[in-house]
Chain A
Amino acid sequence: MASCSPVPTSNFSHRLRFLSNLFCVISCLLLFACGNGENNVSTGLASQTLHWGNGAEPQELDPHIVTGIPEHHIIVGLLEGLVLKDPQTLEPIPGMAQSWDISDDAKTYTFHIRANARWSNGDPVTSADFVWSWWRALQPALGNQYAYMYYPIVNAEAYATGEIDDFSQVGVKAIDANTLQVTLANPTPYFLQLLDHYSMFPVHRPTIEKFGGPAERGTRWTRAGNFVGNGPFTLKQWDLNRLVMIEKSPTYYDADKVRLHAIRFYPTENVSTEERMFRAGQLHVTGSLPADKIAVYKKTNPQALRISPYLGTYFYRINTKIAHLADKRIRRALAMAINRQQIIDTVTKGGQMPAFSFTPPNTLGYTAENGFTEDIQAAKALLAEAGYANGEGFPPTDLLYNSNEGHRKLAVAIQQMWKKNLNVDITLNNQDWKVYLDSVTTGNFEISRAGWIGDYVDPNTFLDMWLTDGGNNRTGWHDDEYDQLISEAAPAAKVRAQRYAHFRRAEAILMDAMPIIPIFTYNSTHLIHPHVKGMPSNILDYASYKQIYLSED
C-alpha cells in the first residue's frame, strides 16, 4: 500500500455513501425511540397499578409444575385454593370454601365451596374441579415436585408413587357440586395450611384439556389469553423475560374488595438493578435488597426498608459418615465455637436472628429450646475429649458452599472462628450451584452450607426432613426415638400443646446430636414504596393482593 492509492475506484465513494446512509437511518430510528422519562410509581398511583420486582422469570404458571417463589407471587393472584391465610396472623381464613367442618377424630374435612365462586370465563367452581385438579397433581407424568403436599390425604402417596392405580381410593370425594370431603390418614393439624400452597390449587379442566393432555407438561394453557383461573386477577400479558401483567378479574367472588387494577411483575434477577429501579421510581416493591445497601437505607430512607423474620434457617450440614465427624462431640464443638451475632453484624448485615435450634422461633406458636450455647471453653473441652486437644491432629476438613459472594464471606468468617477458637484447619470449597447440589445429594462433602425455607407454617416442615433416609436429610444421621416422635407421637397428639411437646423433645435430640449447625434465621428484606398500603409483614413473606392498594396518605 506504499506507492499506490489503496482504493482507486470511483465506485468506492458510492458504496461508502450507501453504508453511511444506512447508518444514518438506523441512528434516526434510535433517536425516534427516545423521549422523556416517566415514573411508574406516579402513573401507578392514578391507575392502581402495582409494579412488583419479582426476582426471576417464572418457569411456568402451572401450579402443579412450578416450585419457586417468583411463580408463587404470580399464581396466588391468578388462582385460589380452598382456604386463604390471614396476612397478619397466617391463620387459615375462607377462600374458595366459605366454611369447613372437621370431624371429631380430626381426619375428615368437609369443605363448603362458595356458590358464587367463578372461573374467569364464568364457569362455576365446583367440588368436582378440586377432585380433578388433585387427581392431575398426583399424575407422575406431570413431574410435580410438590406432590408430597398431598401425602396427608389417605392413599395419596400410594397413588403418586404408583402403588395403587385407582384414584377412587384416595381420600377426596365430591359429595355434591359444592361439598368436598377430604379424608386424612392421620390427624394433620397443619392440613389447612397446606391448602393455601399453590400445589393444591384447582385448575380449569376444560382449558387444560383444550391445549393438551391432563398430565402433559408445558402445554399452552398457561399463556395469556388462554389462562382461566379462579383468583382475584386474570393473566393479561406474559412477555418472556420482560413482564407478567395480571388484571383485576370481574368474575371473582370478592371483586368488590379488590382495589388494585393491575399488577406488573418484572423479572429482576440483578438485585442491584432492582434497587436502582426502585430509586428511579420504576418499582413499588422489590424482591430483595443487596446486603451492603441495608445500612444505607437504614440511614437515608428507613421508611422504605422492610426487614422481617422469615420462615427459614441458614445452617451447615455435617456429613456424619466421615470418620472424625461421626463423633458428636466434634460436631457440637464446631457449633459452639461460632459467634453468630458477630457474623450477623459484620458479614450478613441484615439484622438476622442467631439460631440455636433448627425451627425458627415462634413458628405458629412453637419455639424450640436452645440446643446449645456459644461457649469456646466448653467447645475446646469437647474437642480435647474427642482426642484433638488444642486442635492438634484434627484431620483437614472441607467446607463446601455454592459459589456466591455472601456464602463465601460467611464461610471465611466461620473458618477463621474455628481456627482462632479451636485451632482446626478448614479448607473452603466452592462449587457452581448444580455441582454443589450433586455433591450434597450424593454425600460427597464433609461440611456444607444449606438453607431451608418452610413449605407451610408448622414445625413439621422443619423437623420431618431429619427422619431416617429423608430425601433432604443428607447428613447420614438417624435416631429411632426422633423418628418415632415425628412420625408417630406428634401426629397422634390430641392438642397443640402436646404435639409441640413432642416436637420440642425431637428437636432437643436433633440439637444434641448436631448433624446440622444452625447459624441464623432468615430475614425477608424488601424496599416498599410508601404508597403501598395493606401489606403487613409476616414470617411467610405472604402478601394478599386483594387487600393491597396504592394511596398517598
Chain B
Amino acid sequence: MARFIFMRLLQAIPVLLVVITVTFFLVRLAPGGPFSAEKAVPPEVLKALEARYHLDQPVVNQYLSYLGDLARGDFGPSFKYPGRSVNEMIAAGLPATTELGLYAMCFALLIGASAGVIAALKPNSAQDYIPMSTAMLGICLPSFLLGPLFMLVFGVWLEWLPVSGWGDIPGDKILPALTLASGYTAYIARLSRGGMLEVMSQDYIRTARAKGLPEWKVVLKHGLRGGMIPVIAFIGPAFAGLLSGSFVVETIFQIPGLGRFYVQAAFNRDYTMIMGTTVLFATLIIFFNLLADIVAVWLNPRLRDLYRGKGA
C-alpha cells in the first residue's frame, strides 16, 4: 500500500510541472497585460509597475525565478490586489470553498444515495421514476439557474434563509451547499441506483431473503455494502470537482471562496494569482483522485491483496 501511494505521488510531480509550465507561458501569451486599464496608464507608471513585479525581465528568467519561489512555497504577490500575497488570498479563500464543498458533498450523499436506494428497490415503478426524473432535472438544471431560484423561493418569498453571505447570518450556508450539491446529488442517485440494482440481483441477496431476513435488513445490511461501491469511488473526483467548480455558486451567493478569485484572476490577467490557484487546484485534483483510489483499495480486499503482493 505504501509503495502504491509513493508511486502515485511520484507520478504527480511531472504532471504538476507540466501544468505549471503550460499555464505560466499561456497566461503571458494572452493579449492584454495585468496593468492595462480603460484610462491610459502613463508610461512611467507602467514601467515602475513592471519593474516592481519583475515583468521587465526575460520570460525565461521570470519562469525560473517563479519555480524557485514555488519550491519555497511562495506563490508571489497578487498583481490585482497590491497589498495581498497569493498565499494569503488562498489561505483566506480555501476554508470557505472547502467548507462549501464538504457540505455540498454531505447533501449530495445523503439525498442522492437515499433516492438511489429507494428507486432501486422497485425498479420501473413510480417509486423509481419520480426520484430518478427529479435526479435528471438536477443534472440538467445549471447552478446559475437553480441558485437564484432557491434564493427567490427560500430567501425572498418565504424569508426562511438569507440569500447571500457566509457565516454572517445563521443558515446562510444551506442554500449555496444545496445548489452546489444538486448536480452531484443527481449523479450519486443514478450511481447508487445502478449499484443497488446490480447487487440486489446477486445470489447472496437471494440467500439472505431465503433465510427469512426482513427486507429492510437485507437492503441495509447486505445490499448497501456492494451497492455503494460505485458511489464511494466517485467521492474523490466529485470532491475535487466541488472544490474547483464552485465558482458560479460562490459568485451567486457572495461566498468569500477561492473559486471567485480563480476566474477573476484570469479576466484580470493577475498572473501570479492564476498560477497559484491553478497549481493548487491541480494538486487537489491529483490528491483526491489518489484518495479515492486508496479508499477503493481499502474497501476492496481483492485490490488490497494485489497491492500487498499476494496476487488476486
Name the residue on A nearest B258 (C-beta).
Answer: A241
Determine if B37 is an interface residue (Cβ-Cβ < 8 Å).
yes
- Partner of B82 from A26, A62, A223, A242 at Cβ < 8 Å: A62
Inter-chain contact A241/B226, CB cutoff 8 Å: no
Q: Given A140-B45, A145-B41, A277-B164, do A218 and B82 touch, yes or no (CB 8 Å)?
A: yes
Inter-chain contact B49/A16, CB cutoff 8 Å: no
- Cα-based distance from A535 to B80 in the complex (angstroms): 31
Q: Given A434-B269, A435-B30, do A23 and B106 touch, yes or no (CB 8 Å)?
A: yes
B40, B173, B261 — which one has the most chain A CB atoms within 10 A of its CB? B40
Determine if B268 is an interface residue (Cβ-Cβ < 8 Å).
yes
- Partner of B93 from A19, A67, A241, A432 at Cβ < 8 Å: A241
Which B residues lie within 8 Å of A438 (CB)?
Answer: 31-33, 36
Complex interface residues of chain A between 417 and 474 (CB less than 8 A to chain B): 432-439, 441, 450-451, 470-472, 474
Complex interface residues of chain A between 35 and 79 (CB less than 8 A to chain B): 35-38, 40, 57, 59-62, 65, 67
Inter-chain contact A240/B92, CB cutoff 8 Å: yes
- Cα-based distance from A34 to B251 in the complex (angstroms): 21
Inter-chain contact A8/B301, CB cutoff 8 Å: yes
Inter-chain contact B160/A441, CB cutoff 8 Å: no
Inter-chain contact A240/B93, CB cutoff 8 Å: yes
- Cα-based distance from A441 to B36 in the complex (angstroms): 9
Which B residues lie within 8 Å of A217 (CB)?
Answer: 52, 82
Determine if A102 is an interface residue (Cβ-Cβ < 8 Å).
no
Q: Given A9-B301, A240-B93, do A60 and B33 touch, yes or no (CB 8 Å)?
A: no
Name the residue on A nearest B221 (C-beta).
Answer: A13
- Cα-based distance from A141 to B102 in the complex (angstroms): 44
Complex interface residues of chain A between 91 and 128 (CB less than 8 A to chain B): none
Inter-chain contact A35/B170, CB cutoff 8 Å: yes
Inter-chain contact B171/A160, CB cutoff 8 Å: no
Determine if A250 is an interface residue (Cβ-Cβ < 8 Å).
no
Inter-chain contact A145/B39, CB cutoff 8 Å: yes
CB distance from B56 to the nearest CB of A (A): 13
Which A residues lie within 8 Å of B221 (CB)?
Answer: 13
Which B residues lie within 8 Å of A474 (CB)?
Answer: 40
Name the residue on B nearest A473 (C-beta).
Answer: B40
Determine if B241 is an interface residue (Cβ-Cβ < 8 Å).
no
A interface residues, tally (CB under 8 Å): 80
Inter-chain contact B37/A273, CB cutoff 8 Å: no
Which B residues lie within 8 Å of A3 (CB)?
Answer: 203
Which A residues lie within 8 Å of B228 (CB)?
Answer: 16
CB distance from A53 to the nearest CB of B (A): 10
Which A residues lie within 8 Å of B45 (CB)?
Answer: 140, 143-145, 147
CB distance from B224 to the nearest CB of A (A): 7
Name the residue on B nearest A439 (C-beta).
Answer: B31
CB distance from B81 to the nearest CB of A (A): 5
Which A residues lie within 8 Å of B300 (CB)?
Answer: 6-7
Which B residues lie within 8 Å of A472 (CB)?
Answer: 39-40
Determine if B110 is an interface residue (Cβ-Cβ < 8 Å).
yes
- Cα-based distance from A162 to B267 in the complex (angstroms): 32
Determine if B225 is an interface residue (Cβ-Cβ < 8 Å).
yes
CB distance from B200 to the nearest CB of A (A): 12
22 pairs, CB–CB < 8 Å, chain A vs chain B: A6-B229, A6-B300, A7-B226, A7-B301, A13-B221, A26-B106, A30-B174, A33-B173, A35-B170, A145-B41, A162-B44, A223-B83, A241-B256, A242-B166, A242-B256, A273-B163, A276-B152, A277-B254, A437-B36, A450-B38, A471-B40, A471-B41
Further 16 A-B residue pairs, CB within 8 A, beyond A280-B162, A435-B31: A26-B103, A33-B173, A37-B169, A160-B44, A217-B82, A239-B256, A241-B93, A242-B256, A272-B252, A273-B151, A282-B163, A282-B169, A433-B267, A437-B38, A450-B38, A472-B40
